[in-house]
Amino acid sequence: MTVQERIEQLRKLMQERGIDVYYMPNADDHLSDEYTADYFKCKSYMSGFSGDSGCTIITKDFAGLWTDGRYFTQAEDELEGTGVELMRMGQEGVPAAVTFAIENTPENGLLGFDGSVVSSGDALMISDALKKKNAKMHVDEDLVGMIWNDRPSLPMEKVYVLDTKYTGTDAKQRIEMVREEMKKKDADVLILTLLEDPCWLLNIRGNDIPCTPVTYAFAMVTNDDVFYYVDEEKIADVKDYLTENGVTCKAYNALSEDIASLHNKTIWVQLSSLNVKLYTNIASDNVIVNEISPIMHFRSVKNETEIEVMHNAQVKDGVAMVKFIKWIKETVGEDTMSEVSAQNKLYELREAQEDYIEPSFTTISAYQENGAMMHYTATEEKFSYVHPKGFLLVDSGGTYKDGTTDITRTIACGPLTDEEKMYYTLVLKGHIDLQEAVFLKGSTGNNLDILARRPMWNINIDYQCGTGHGVGHVLGVHEGIHGIRWGMPTAARPSVPLEDGMIVTDEPGIYLPHKLGIRIENDLLVVKDTKNFYGQWLKFEAMTYCPYDLDAIDVNYLEDCEVKAINDYHKMVYEKLSPFLNEEEKAWLKNETREIVK
């Protein structure tokens, strides 16, 4: 079926049930809001938009796709001819998706969605708003599933153990850490719904989602027991391990029944990550502690072992990146090169590194104007050739047993215009200015964001996304309670102080639609600096080891301190990577990390 035919089929089901508005978020049963298994991609199936963000809303006479600034250009292309209207999130005059859904539900009307993929927090807010117009919710059916005849199956990949030489603490220690936090809240039960949380707790990983080593599973922790809800065939290789660590395994869908059996308990669960269908099983005689799980903080603040092995992963990743950039520079113009052949070369180079697992996300290999689409994906069917001029933007990362990486380099493939060099240098200025920041403990990413954004704002250009996100340890590449972004904190994106041990990305950019895209990204570790009368000072330590492109820099736009910072960084890159390169590669890297002068 075409997108238009799917929409008509859905509208027939809506009409039969009296549903006026149907809402489809980009989420799964665990409320993952970005990467999900193909089974859950109802938003994309109904709109034709393949990006990993946003939602689709269908009414009797309207079909809309909401997504953020990273995807505007991509969405324009993919929605063309579908009849689905692009709703640019965050832009003036564009209502929030849930607000639109509520406002377009008429008096005495019905707003529908699959209760498995909408949070109880959102549902409670929607229900309260609908009561004002005597309208209701229809949440017990997945209408898209009724028309999606070739829907992919739920994944059934095997679970495996991540050794303590990588994690630093074993499962029993981690369970005890969690119980100590439960005592502080007087919680009898902790329900873990986020995919990463049971993985961290039990030192296990899976392969149910591409580029994210997690498995579809829930967990429940009490003062005496740990219950792990997972399909049995996934844990065939780790049953003894789980038993040894005091874990009782149950069927994936058994959590609803176990929640319903709880009475007169204090239950710690975050409503924004608990779906509606699970929430309805909580008896009214229980007390709910509606806060993020303690594991989210534990995941965000890495221990000494995790930091050490993540440095190892970054060295391996840097070696792959240096080999890749060298190949690009020497191959473009000599042999035929496309965005696809470039990204495949990088996959190949990463796969050659020890303890490599998989990409940490689908590589973005975007030449010239394609770089303006922040989350562009080249495919065998749709790609551009790379020519010996302009920029190739490559945003990529790897997951190793040591850790997870995320890096972007914008590569000069040949001669650049003065304008292109100016834009590149301004992005580099913002990147360096944040990386070199020294700040008082208690500062948040909201406090620091302007350091990266200022060079672009000075010429009235903005990148319509955050500057940085947390990075998981052999988990999600986009992770953590912290980040670097501008604007007022919200309930969904609270302002969280940065702590030593946190890892955050630094990735400002310039995106000129249909012209070019430039982004430079490093992973930064928060570390302690001086402590004095004013308090504890913190700073960043660059964990990513890969040169910036000296061919793209116009030093006239740099301050002396920025020149020094670039030279110091390049010296470190050479020292870290050269022991793992052959003589030809060392010579190439030596030139690419040579000192620059103003």
In a structure prediction context, what are the per-residue pLDDT tens digits for the chain, which is 598 residues long?
Answer: 899 999 999 999 999 999 999 999 999 999 987 788 999 999 999 999 998 889 999 999 999 999 988 788 889 989 999 999 999 998 999 999 999 999 999 999 999 999 999 999 999 999 999 999 999 999 999 999 999 999 999 999 999 999 999 999 999 999 999 999 999 999 999 999 999 999 999 999 999 998 999 999 999 999 999 999 999 999 999 999 999 999 999 999 999 999 999 999 999 999 999 999 999 999 999 999 999 999 999 999 999 999 999 999 999 999 999 999 999 999 999 999 999 999 999 999 999 999 999 999 999 999 999 999 888 889 898 899 999 999 999 999 999 999 999 999 999 999 999 999 999 999 999 999 999 999 999 999 999 999 999 999 999 999 988 999 999 999 999 998 999 999 888 777 788 999 999 999 999 999 999 999 999 999 999 999 999 999 999 999 999 999 999 999 999 999 999 999 999 999 999 999 999 999 999 999 999 999 999 8
352: tokens are 């050659």
Report the SS3 class of residue 346: helix
Q: What are phi and psi of 41, to 5 degrees?
A: -85, 55
Per the CB < 8 A criterion, the answer to whether 78 and 48 are in contact is: yes
Looking at residue 254, its pLDDT comes to 97
Looking at residue 35, its pLDDT comes to 82
**Cα 401 to chain center, whole Å?**
19
Looking at residue 575, its pLDDT comes to 98
Strand partners for 248: 227
CB atoms within 10 A of CB 572: 14
Question: Phi/psi class of residue 33: alpha, beta or left (left: φ > 0; alpha: ψ in -120 to 50)?
Answer: alpha
123: tokens are 């549902």
**343, HSE (Cβ side, Cα atoms, 13 Å):** 25
Per the CB < 8 A criterion, the answer to whether 403 and 314 are in contact is: yes
268: tokens are 């710690």
Looking at residue 331, its pLDDT comes to 97
Looking at residue 73, its pLDDT comes to 82
Looking at residue 365, its pLDDT comes to 97
290: tokens are 């509606």
444: tokens are 């948040």
Strands 21-25 and 110-112: parallel
